A and B are shown apart, each in its own frame.
Chain A
Amino acid sequence: MKFQTAARALLIPLFIAFLWLPTLDWFLHLDHVPLPNEKRRLATFPAYRGVAELKQFTAGVDAYFSDHFGFRKRLVRSYNHWRRQVFREGGNDVTIGRDGSLFRTGERMIEHSTGLARINDQELPDWQ
């Protein structure tokens, strides 16, 4: 019983510390993992353009926070590592072939390569 009490006493500070760690990193820069190459521009802090555009502002802050919160680099690295090592998968829109080659899967590339995606009558004039 006393072990359970001690474990409970330990879980609460660990949980609170976990929630505050990203904020600590924001100020103290504890995460030294190199910036992952995401091949996209990370969100910038949005400009406040008045109450009429408050929804866009909060959405912008959300996007900014998701791209910049503390320890994000370490978490993204861990996620990519597990995805590659455990699941043998590449990043988004990328698949790993049997010999380790990387194939792009976005924009129905696999379907186009295997002849599954056919150009329909509506799309045909765009190609001509």
Chain B
Amino acid sequence: MVFSSPIFLFLFLPLVLAYFLVPGLRLRNLWLLAFSIIFYAWGEVIFVFLMLGSTVMNYFLGLWVDRETIPLRRKWAVGIAVALNLGTLAIFKYANFAVENLNAVLGILRLAPVQMDPVRLPIGISFFTFHALSYVIDIYRRKWTSAKNPGDVALYIFFFPQLIAGPILRWSAIAPQIAQRIVTREGFVEGIRRFTGGLAKKVMIANVVAGPADQIFSLPAAELGPALAWLGTLCYALQIYFDFSGYSDMAVGLGKMFGFQFLENFNYPYISQSIRDFWRRWHISLSSWFRDYLYIPLGGNRCSERRNYLNLLIVFLLCGLWHGASWTFVIWGLYHGTFLVLERTRFGSLIDWLPRPARHIYTLAAVLVGWVLFRAESFAQAVLFLENMIGITVRTNAAQPLARYLTHQVACAIALGVIFSTPAWPWLKISAQRIPQLLPGMLRPVTQAAGAFLEVGLVMFWLFVSAAWLAGGTYNPFIYFRF
């Protein structure tokens, strides 16, 4: 089930909100767990048993790690826990890829290929594996104790707002909230705002630009031209940002409605001044997970310069591979890793010396080229697409007209996308809040009241428009589902 579907919005969510009629925290947690299992089972019945198995396994592994007092045994316990979780991920996500590449090598050596039935990818496996890893590692690091109740581990892993696309949670952050939390009116209202904003981002921007992005990326290279290739890249850059940040906003909003505080996942990444800055703003829960659970244990930057560069490349290679079992993701990860290494050299000093607009252009250009690698079906297609973007391909009269894809609705979605990729909305809100202070005293209450109720009207309007877009629109893909 996805948040941007009528069955979630008009059946699942109203029912799960009956949570507030359930007495006591323990029963409320059970209520959330039951609905979270239904949420996952709706799309993947069979894999619910895999997740339940993983939950039980991690519950016992957590107890084991927690009870061991001898450091060496504790290390073994956490090592086995990490290996079992990564092993599950490797089988379900990377087995097909590994066999495919092995068979390619065997083919070159004229040896018989390995026969294996394709393994189906469970939805959200990368997210729930990282949740499980955080559970055992946080216990090992004594950031929090193991759960005494297996239901608490199950709720941590299954909790539906973050189940299939994050944000990636930490056991040490969520465990106290499972044990005790308060839902306030302010928190619930903020949850509604975030959820509605995320839904509007998803259906009114991401879904609209997804159409031309998919169409342009599926065109043969001969039918592309520089303008069309740039339009396709721009549409995809907006699609992936508004799709994923919209989903994250909905997840954060839903969490707030039930009294949970999730980590923020995005902070206007397209206004970044460098690739280093970009990774502080893009998919924050993933980049900070890699920083805390991989980069720092590898030695981080408290080692030689060369070792530090190697650490960065390893982290970003694995970050690329986390996104999918494909060479394009590996190349995308290494591409970003290389920029991060370069920005620690004299090249970084040169970038810092540039004026702000030039730094912004450099970052956007690097990110957009990266998205082409990320989106393309193969490296060869990515190269052809990039050649079209810089106009070094032989022009044919088969190039498609731009107007075919740049419809009024798409142009409007792109304009909205560009505006909302900047902190324009918070700036507008702060400016609007200052207006009453500039007015004579007798007018202040009237403008304050108008502002407060205007916001309510706006939230309900966006909710209605989003629902209409959902009802009428047929194109509703979700990119981060497959990760």
Contacts and interface: CB of A to CB of B under 8 A. Distances in A.
Interface of A: 3-4, 6-12, 14-16, 18-20, 22-23, 51, 54-55, 58, 61-62, 65-66, 69-70, 72, 75-76, 78-80, 82-83, 86-89, 92, 95, 110-111, 116, 118
Given A6-B452, A89-B409, A11 B10 contact: no
Interface stretch (B23-31, B90-98, B174-182, B469-477): B469-477
Contacts of B408: 86-89
B318 interface: no
Contacts of A78: 464, 468, 472
Contacts of B46: 55
A118 to B, nearest CB: 7
B192 A15 contact: yes
A68 to B, nearest CB: 9
B471 A76 contact: yes
Given A19-B9, A89-B408, A11 B472 contact: no
Interface stretch (B69-77, B163-171, B229-237, B453-461): B453-461
Contacts of B110: none
A12 B188 contact: yes
B47 to A, nearest CB: 10
B108 to A, nearest CB: 29
Contacts, number: 118
B185 A65 contact: no
Tell me whether chain A's interface is mostly helix, strand or loop, or mixed. Answer: helix
Contact of B448 (A3, A72, A75): A3
11 contacts: A3-B452, A12-B185, A12-B188, A15-B460, A16-B14, A55-B44, A58-B42, A69-B471, A87-B409, A95-B407, A116-B400
B100 interface: no
A12 B189 CA distance: 7
A86 to B, nearest CB: 8
A70 B471 CA distance: 11
B7 A62 contact: yes
